Amino acid sequence: MPIPQFDLFGEPDPGEARVELPSGFRYQRDIITAAEESELLAHIRELPFRDFEFHGYTGKRRVVSFGWQYDFSARHLQKVDDMPAFLRELRVPAARFAGLDPEALQHVLVTEYSAGAGIGWHRDKNVFNEIVGVSLLAPCVFRLRRSVGEGWERVNVTAEPRSAYLLSGAARSEWEHSIPPVDALRYSVTFRNLR
C-alpha cells in the first residue's frame, strides 16, 4: 500500500484523500534563515561528537548532548554540560514554534547523519515529554507509523533544511518515528523537555 507523503504546501490532487498528520505533530519551514543556518553549522562542526552507542551497538550517526543526557546502558538521565550560547539562541525560535517556554527545553541532542546514516523505528524515552527538532543541511524523510489492527498506519513528511517539527500528544505517545538513510550530510538539533 502506498505510504501517504504529506505535501505540506502543494495542492492535493483532485480526488486524492487528504492526508491527516498525526495529532500532536506540527511542522514549519524556515524557522531560521540560510545565514543563521551557516553560522550554526560553523559552531556545530566544532562540537565533541561521539559515535551513538545503544546497548553495545554503535550506530552510524554521531551525537552530543547538553543539559541532560540519556544513558542507554544505565537507563537514566544524567546531568551534562550546559547548552552553549548558540544552542540557547536556536532554542528561542524552536520553542516559539512549539508554543513552549524556551527555558523548559532543558535538554538538547545534536545528531550528525553522514550519507547512509539513518535512525530506526522508535519512540523517545519517557523521561522526555515534548520534542522539537530542527533540521540542517540535507533534507530527510521523517517517517511516522502507528499500529492499527494487524498492520501500520504510516505517514511520511519531508523534513527540509531549516525547518522544525514538533512531536507532542499522540504523535509522541502512540506513533513511532524513523529516518531512512540520508543521501548527504544532515544535522538535527532536538530539544526536549523533561517529564
Ligand X SMILES: O=C(O)CCC(=O)C(=O)O
Q: Which residues bind ligand X (CB under 6 A)?
A: 109, 111, 119, 124, 133, 177, 179, 188, 190
In our burial notation (b when 16+ CB lie closer than 10 A, e otherwise), range 62-97 reads: bbbbbbbbbeeeeeebeeeeebeebbbbbbebbbeb
Residue nearest to ligand X (CB): 188
**Burial category of 186 from C-beta neighbours within 10 Å (exposed 0-12, middle 13-18, buried 19 and up):** buried
Q: How far is the CB of 79 from ligand X (least distance, A)?
A: 19
Q: How far is the CB of 72 from ligand X (least distance, A)?
A: 11
For residues 119 and 155, which CB has a smaller minimum distance to ligand X in the complex? 119
For residues 100 and 137, which CB has a smaller minimum distance to ligand X in the complex? 137
For residues 168 and 190, which CB has a smaller minimum distance to ligand X in the complex? 190
For residues 100 and 108, which CB has a smaller minimum distance to ligand X in the complex? 108
Q: How far is the CB of 124 from ligand X (least distance, A)?
A: 5
Do the beta carbons of residue 161 and residue 108 sit within 8 Å?
no
Task: Enter the C-alpha cell of residue 137.
Answer: 543541511
Q: How far is the CB of 5 from ligand X (least distance, A)?
A: 17
CB pairs under 8 A, 24+ apart, for 90-93?
90/32, 90/40, 90/134, 90/189, 91/191, 93/31, 93/32, 93/164
Q: How far is the CB of 189 from ligand X (least distance, A)?
A: 8
Whole-angstrom distance, CA of residue 174 vs CA of residue 138: 28
For residues 111 and 168, which CB has a smaller minimum distance to ligand X in the complex? 111
